[in-house]
Structure 1
Amino acid sequence: MRRVRQYQGGFIITLELILVSTILVIGTFIGVVALRDVLFKQYVEKQSRDIYVSDSNGVVLGQALSFDEHEAPRIPYIDRLVPPLSPDPAHRNYRALISIRDDRFTTREAVYYDGANCTGTPCIKAPSDENEDNVGIDNVDATGAVGYLYKSQAGPTYAIGRSPDGITGYLFRDTGNACPISPDAVRSRYMSQKVVAGSPCESLETSSTETTPGTTTTTQTYVADAYTDCLIGLGAIPGGVVDTCSCPANYSEQNDVIRAAESEIDASLLVGLNSVRGFAKEVVDVVEAADLQVGTVCCPVGSVLSNTGLADTIAYAIIEDAIYATLTNARKIDKSIDTLNNNLNPQTIVCVEETTTTTPGGGSRSLVLREAVQVLAPDTSDNALANFSAPFKINLPADASSDDWVYTLPGKEGPND
């Protein structure tokens, strides 16, 4: 009988293997601990260099992105509750840039009110239009309260307005709708960026064109209704095409005023279309697919077109033309017109004569205002800034002894650094 040999599997643990394994394990452990310590120190040092703003209760508002001209840290607020706008069907969130002083919040833009002491109906002007607010808080031309961030992100304009304490400030945004008050009704504005003891609210007396008190004041006097026979055309609607028109004798075209208000017209048009979208979608489809044409508007020579109510009036005329050209059911037409009247405020477009009185130190500024609402914190009915209490403060770097690890920026190593 043949014997089958048995072979042992595995390996022999030697003293050398134990020694090598021990060295590797202990060395790796020491290296990991050292790396952890270095990364932790770097993280702590970076936190020490970064500036965070917190309120009196230690609640962190955010990290400073930059500083304004008064050395107040600026932080971004992301508004996650704003409804989607027309240029943004995917509905992204928009940022408001807020500067934080020790006792208040500030923004470049102002909030306008129809009551004294910044009370009543709040409104915000359209963004990025130097003609609307050319004069700044220093009464110097070209330094006005104009915010370019909001035009760049194609979203609403944000501004700090009056809070109940009159000092700290609440965050507002425009809705895209025309302001329910006319520029003539404005009596005050909350100019949060002013450096002033107490409330930054200032009195403001305006006409249809408003300027900073003590600089240049422009008043407007009614001259005549504007010539609007060739105002609106919808190339996709039968009979809606407007032929090229010439102004009557002794009239001049005012299309530059229309072009300056294009963003406000688009916003009012969206409001009107949304109001009838649920039961007259064919009207909405026609307007959105149409080749919209704003024709010629004329005023008597020597007068200018007033921008009061201009956006709502033009938007109303466009949608009204589409309703009568598209719908055939009388009840549906009446319902559409009634709904339109409840959401837009059309007015007679008029021509005015401007009279300007100038005193040293400033230039004229016209106001085209939008409706403003408070920005609320998520899941609450409070303003987004209501739960933060002054005084506001920033973190300070911790003390470091000479043997502590100090983070050095790349390229700065060397005996002289």
Structure 2
Amino acid sequence: MKKHYQQGYILTIELILIITILIIGSIGGVVLVRDALIKRHQTKVDNQITVIDANNKPLGIAVSFDEHQAPLIFYTDRQVNATYRALIGIRDDRFTSREAVYYDAPNCQGNPCLKGLSDEASDSQGISNINNTGNVSYINALQQGPNYAIGQFGNSVIGQLLRSTAQACPANSGQILSRYVSQKVVTGSPCESFEIDKQPADSSCLVGVTALGNPLLGVSDQSLSQSCDSCQSGYESQGDILDLYLPQVEPLLNTALNALSLVGLSANVDVELGTICCPEGTRLEDDENIVETLVFTILKTTFELAGIDLINNLLITETLSLIGIEPGVTYCQTSINLVSAEQVINVTTGEPALSSLAPPFRVKLPAHSGQNSTTWIHTPPTGERK
């Protein structure tokens, strides 16, 4: 007698019930997860600020807001070897940046130049015109890449994106005549005239004077003043600049003293040069007339120690003018190191960055709260953070 075995499964009512419950529960769970993801995405879309232009072209999602509550977006620059991001502020009619752009011609024309990365010392006034408020964008320094700023763009206030280069600015700091501060709140162009901040140098340590006596008459030498050993607190010696020009200063000083002695105005003194001091963070103004200005400052200090007012003495000033020394002031100025800037190009279109965007710019609102909506959706507070 042979045994027969049945193969396969025995489908019972209990198994059918279990499978049904599992399938229905899984479907229900997937639906709940789907709804939760959709709700989360919609909430995110409703809360994020997307900036668009007049043609509904998206500029980007706001990552933050500046002090004027203008959205800040990242522009990705793929033109250079590495990919860097420039943080740009968007107002309804223009682009802005923390960094200013400097020009060697009035009205923000000529060659554009930028400060170096993380430059806190030079031109420390921001839009508030208060020292040490700065126009420094640290995101550029943190990327260890080029510096970025919004500069002048023709006669429009919209602005153009500029990037620093490795070349020095074609103009020195004294030749910078205007500055484009895109963050300024003004009607029209935020271009302004520019002049480096400067203040008179401290010459109290510059001259040591000894009145020469006459041994035959029994009159001994008398020290009227001695040069300081060091500058006062908060000031720095400019001895390196002074030493640089000493070979030109000393002959001109001797010529001036000899010229004054010919008209009977030179005091019988021995002049010893010390140092000139400037506030910390500034440098002695190094212009084309620095030698003549230094000599005038030395003479003015020397004659003051001898009790003579040089500036208001017409005979002295006329005598000095004959040898090319005019009244002047030695100034200390904030140092500013500038590099040349170039326009950022969109590698996809080959056009200047941001040039295809048309104002007025605005933020894109959620669909359910658009202008055509007539329904007020009231959501009572729940005390829970979503």
The TM-score bracket by the shorter chain reads 0.5 to 0.7
Q: CA deviation at 1:305?
A: 6.5
| CA spacing shift, 1:43–1:251, aligned 2, 3 Å | closer
Change beyond 3 A, Cα 1:110–1:59: same
Whether the 8 Å contact between 1:251 and 1:300 is mirrored in structure 2 is no
TM-score under structure 1 length normalisation: 0.57
Summarize the alignment of residues 56-67 of structure 1 with structure 2, pairs less than 5 Å apart.
Answer: 56-67=54-65
Residues 307 and 195 of structure 1, relative CA distance in 2, 3 Å threshold: same
Counterpart residue number, 2:321: none
Aligned pair 1:200/2:190, yes or no? yes
Task: Return the letter of the residue paired with 1:371.
Answer: S
Deviation (angstroms), 1:111: 1.0
Q: How far did 1:164 drift?
A: 3.1
1:170 aligns with 2:126: no
Aligned partner of residue 108 in structure 2, secondary structure: coil
Quote how far apart the aligned CAs of 1:408 are. Answer: 9.0
Give 1:129 shift: 2.3
Query: Is the 8 Å Cα contact of residues 42 and 407 (structure 1) preserved in structure 2?
Result: no
What is the DSSP-based 3-state SS (H/G/I as helix, E as strand, rest coil) of the residue aligned with 2:174? helix
What root-mean-square deviation, in Å, do the aligned CA atoms of Structure 1 and Structure 2 show?
3.5
SS in 1 for 2:167: strand
Change (3 A) 1:159 1:28: same
1:376 equivalent in structure 2: 345
Amino acid of the residue matched to residue 253 of structure 1?
D
**Alpha-carbon deviations, 1:352-402, whole Å to 9, x = none?**
98436xxxxxxx643211010011112333222111111111133454899
In the alignment, what sits opposite 1:25? 23
Instruction: Report the equivalent of 2:150.
Output: 160
Residue-by-residue CA offset, 1:209-236 (whole Å, 9 max, x unaligned): x13xxxx5789xxxxxxxxxxxxxxxxx
Q: Secondary structure at the match of 1:129?
A: coil
Residue pair 2:86, 2:148 contacting (<8 A) in 1 also:
yes
Matched residues, number: 271
Taking a change above 3 Å as real, the CA distance of residues 150 and 96 of structure 1, as seen in their structure-2 partners, is same
Q: What residue number does 1:314 align with? A: none
Q: How far apart in 2 are the matches of 1:156 and 1:368?
A: 15
Aligned twin of 1:276: none
1:43, CA displacement in angstroms? 0.9
Tell me the amino acid that sits aligned with residue 106 of structure 1. Answer: T
Counterpart CA distance in 1 for 2:130 and 2:22 is 72
Q: Distance in 2 between the 1:133 and 1:48 partners?
A: 41
Which has the larger displacement, 117-126 or 11-20? Answer: 11-20
| Aligned counterparts of 2:165 and 2:40: Cα–Cα separation in 1 | 45
Q: Does 1:253 align with 2:222?
A: no
Query: 1:408/1:132 Cα in 2 relative to 1: closer, same or farther (>3 Å)?
Result: farther
In structure 1, stretches of 5+ residues that fail to align are: 84-90, 220-249, 256-298, 309-351, 357-363
Q: Aligned equivalents of 2:173 and 2:125: distance in 1?
A: 17
What are the equivalent positions in structure 2 for 1:82-121 lying under 5 Å apart?
82-83=80-81, 91=82, 93-121=83-111
SS in 2 for 1:378: coil
Whole-angstrom distance in 2 between the partners of 1:398 and 1:203: 46
Give the 4+ runs in structure 1 shifted more than 6 A.
Answer: 305-308, 400-409
Corresponding residue for residue 335 of structure 2: 366
Structure 1 distance, partners of 2:354, 2:381, is 35
C-alpha displacement at 1:403, in angstroms? Answer: 9.8
Is the contact between residue 94 and residue 159 of structure 2 (CA under 8 Å) also seen in structure 1? yes
**Which residue is 2:253 aligned to?**
none
Q: Name the structure 1 match of 2:230.
A: none
Asked if residue 302 in structure 1 is aligned to residue 271 in structure 2, the reply is no
Larger Rg: 2
Indicate conservation of the 8 Å contact 1:53/1:61, yes or no. Answer: yes
Contact 1:99 1:105 in 2 (8 A): yes
Corresponding residue to 2:362 among 393, 396, 407 = 393
What's the CA shift string for 1:251-282, capped at 9, x where partnerless? 92369xxxxxxxxxxxxxxxxxxxxxxxxxxx
| Residue 407 to residue 371, structure 1, CA distance change in 2 (3 Å) | farther
- Aligned 1:197-236 pairs, distance under 5 A: 197-204=187-194, 206=195, 210-211=196-197
Structure 2 CA distance for aligned equivalents of residues 47 and 366 of structure 1: 47
CA displacement at 1:177 relative to structure 2: 1.7
Amino acid at match of 1:149: I
- The structure-2 alpha-carbon separation of the partners of 1:218 and 1:111, relative to structure 1 and needing over 3 Å to count, comes to farther
Q: CA deviation at 1:68?
A: 0.8
1:140 alignment partner in structure 2: 130
**Identity rate, percent:** 44
